[in-house]
Amino acid sequence: MASSINVRWRFRPMSSGERNVDPMEREFFNNESINTRLAREAIQNSLDAASDPTQSGPVRMRFSFAGVHSPLPAAQAAPYLDGLIDPLKHSNAERLHDTISARISRRNLAEGGVPFLVIEDADTQGLDGDWTQFDDSDLPSGKDNHFFWFFRNTGRSGKGDADNGSWGLGKWVFPDASRINSYIAVTRRRSDDKTLLMGQSILTKHTINGQRHEPYGYLGVPGQDKLLLPLVNSDPAHRPFVERCIADFDLRLRNQPGLSLIIPFPRVAPEDADAISAVGLLTAIVHNYFYPLIAGRLEVTVDAGDCSPPVEVTASTIDSVVNKLELQEEGELSADSYAKLFKLCRESIALPAADYTDLAKLPGNDPANPERDALVALREPYRAGQLLAFRVHGNVQRKGDTRAQQQPTEFRLYLQRDDSLPQGQDYYVRGTLSIPNRDHIQRHRAWALLRVDEGNPLAAMLRDSEPAAHTSWRPQTQRVQERWVAPSRRIQAVLSAPVTLLNFLEAPPEGLQKDAFSDIFFWDGAEPAPPKPEPTGIREKPAAYDSTSGSSNKQQRRDFGVARVDSGFRVTLTDAGLENPPAQARLQVAYEIIRGNPLKSYHPEDFRLHGSGGALTPSFSGCQVKPGKAGNELLLDIDNPEKFQFTVTGFDRRRDLHVRVEAAKQNQEASDVGA
């Protein structure tokens, strides 16, 4: 392919005063498989770039492995690799495997052809904006310049509150998917109908003939002041190269606005253990984007390129696609579980507004809560397995907001009892993105789907609490604390909402049931004697228990305080605990006995802090609750010491409680308290 223009890969020479820095973006995504991170980031970017988020038609995506099975011949591939061989040869990039290193040493990377993977979208905006822009310091229009943010920024993002991404690091997955850490982008823009071509390579700092070069390189044409620019099809000199590229790599969606990414030498088997595959991508797509697929906002085609027909994943085909995947036989990742989840999503989408219960406050122990009666009335429908829908309202406020007022927000929560489940399954969706690292309702045999719509200020707050991979909500992250007023309390309310509502719905009927156990015990109908007056105050041992030595006479600081509440107790951190807060607390409870160790005398028939069959009502903030080894033991992961509080009620008022709480991880102290 002859060209009259100077198209090649270029890496900027570094001056002597520049710091040597190698890219570290990979470290933010190491906890996910390559199929998961590629599917999550590619689809997230395409959904964020939708032409109109409220549009009736879906965003369409295509993953094609045809180029893996039919590599581009060497003669055709050479122009797309010009200028890249020497940087690859001198780079220390970890992904350069032996087979490619051998080709580099012979200075013929295209020998034997170039395999490639194609990722495309359609019905999106494409990379619009001024492609000559290189800085946004004095240009507010940079926020809307998708080309600028995609190619000329790392760790910075121009995305708004309605978008799923925000860190500016997710695009790292595209060079990471290549064994030569490079990709080529071809975009057709909705704004001006122009088609642009540009490549990017992210290697390491490398030295060629004594000259250092920065890690980031570009395939394009030189502009003014050493700025590399894309090829534009409206330029007659550029058009042949652009059109040839579209044909060589079989880009099928570039007759309409959108973005195509060409991944040369993709990380596929057998060269890579952590390999990209059609089945792996399909599994990741279904698991992470089930909601927009079922809602009709996304359609994905995966072409394995091995003579089998492409797989279409849409709202109408997702069930059949799941049945063809290699999934677990049981549990959350089984075909049966997915089928029930999809049914729950479809039913939730079809629910009319009148079927929602609006809540301004989650249920607690306050009998004066005006919404309590309405929630009590839902216990019977819940036990019958009906789908319950809630709109939970609240407010959030940004720091520095000149309006100095809170913004109203809401999230939607769907709950359904399912006695066939061995443990509860909960799913969380922000906008169109599934947040996978949540597992809060295991002890409840129920389904929970929590959804926060994009454009909602709460969605923006939650996004700011997520790591770069957007896999969890972390109330204590620096970014969310810097941008929002009191975010921990609001995020914790969202995280605890499914458990709080399930605890309330599964509570035993209130009031005295005179016929309970009548088939086992005789009762003459007489009213029970009134309970003994509760003792005032809390009996406390004179010295803290030393969990390290077992000695009870060793004085040390006390991190936890235990206070009596009606039919239960409350655990908080003391001032000493706030100075250097423990990461986890181990809580044990038993009824007091005349002599001996109450904790060793605990029996499951007394009560259960976790699991089924109990009448206790826990509530908490600033922590996550996990089951302990026995029914009277819990582990409290403390993620917000200032807000930390754990309360549980429902114990027998006629018996005294023995409460033990200790710092489980630091082993700082333990408190034995009689209550």
Q: How far apart are CA 601 and CA 397, in angstroms?
A: 49
The predicted model gives 225-234 an average pLDDT of: 89
Cβ–Cβ contacts within 10 Å for residue 13, how many?
12
What DSSP line would sit under 224-271, residue for residue? GGG-EE-EETTSTTTHHHHHHHHHHTT--STTSSEEEEEEESB--TTT
The predicted model gives 450-469 an average pLDDT of: 87
Specify the 3-state DSSP secondary structure of 79.
helix
Highest mean pLDDT among 41-50, 169-178, 278-287, 402-411: 278-287
* Greater model confidence, 614 or 45: 45
User: What is the tens place of the pLDDT at every residue in 101-140?
Assistant: 677 766 677 778 999 999 999 999 898 888 887 777 665 5
What is the maximal distance between C-alpha atoms in the chain?
Answer: 104
Confidence at residue 668, expressed as pLDDT on a 0 to 100 scale: 39
User: What is the tens place of the pLDDT at every residue in 502-548?
Assistant: 989 988 665 544 444 443 344 444 444 555 544 433 443 332 333 32
User: What is the tens place of the pLDDT at every residue in 341-362?
Assistant: 999 999 999 999 999 999 988 7
CB 336 within 8 A of CB 329: no
Confidence at residue 140, expressed as pLDDT on a 0 to 100 scale: 53
Confidence at residue 141, expressed as pLDDT on a 0 to 100 scale: 46
Specify the 3-state DSSP secondary structure of 468.
coil
pLDDT higher than threshold 50 for residue 448: yes
CB 363 within 8 A of CB 369: yes
Q: Is the peptide bond before 270 cis (omega within 30 degrees of 0)?
A: yes
SS3 annotation, 161-217: CCCCCCCCCHHHHHHHCECCCEEEEEEECCCCCCEEEEEEEECCCEEECCEEEEEEE
Confidence at residue 169, expressed as pLDDT on a 0 to 100 scale: 52
Confidence at residue 160, expressed as pLDDT on a 0 to 100 scale: 45
The percentage of the chain sitting over the pLDDT mark of 90, rounded to a whole number, equals 37
The percentage of the chain sitting over the pLDDT mark of 70, rounded to a whole number, equals 80
Confidence at residue 31, expressed as pLDDT on a 0 to 100 scale: 59
Question: Residue 166's pLDDT band (boundaries 50, 70, 90)?
Answer: very low
Confidence at residue 43, expressed as pLDDT on a 0 to 100 scale: 93
Question: Residue 384's pLDDT band (boundaries 50, 70, 90)?
Answer: very high
Half-sphere exposure in the Cβ direction for 63 (13 Å, CA): 26
Q: How far apart are CA 594 and CA 588, in angstroms?
A: 18
Confidence at residue 473, expressed as pLDDT on a 0 to 100 scale: 85
Confidence at residue 152, expressed as pLDDT on a 0 to 100 scale: 78
Q: What is the mean pLDDT of the chain?
A: 81
The DSSP secondary-structure symbol of 397 reads -
pLDDT higher than threshold 80 for residue 662: yes
Confidence at residue 262, expressed as pLDDT on a 0 to 100 scale: 97
User: Which tokens in the block code for residue 38?
Assistant: 């590629």
- Token pair 């820095």 is found at 21
Cβ–Cβ contacts within 10 Å for residue 193, how many?
12
The predicted model gives 574-578 an average pLDDT of: 76
Tell me phi and psi for residue 51, to 5 degrees. -55, -40
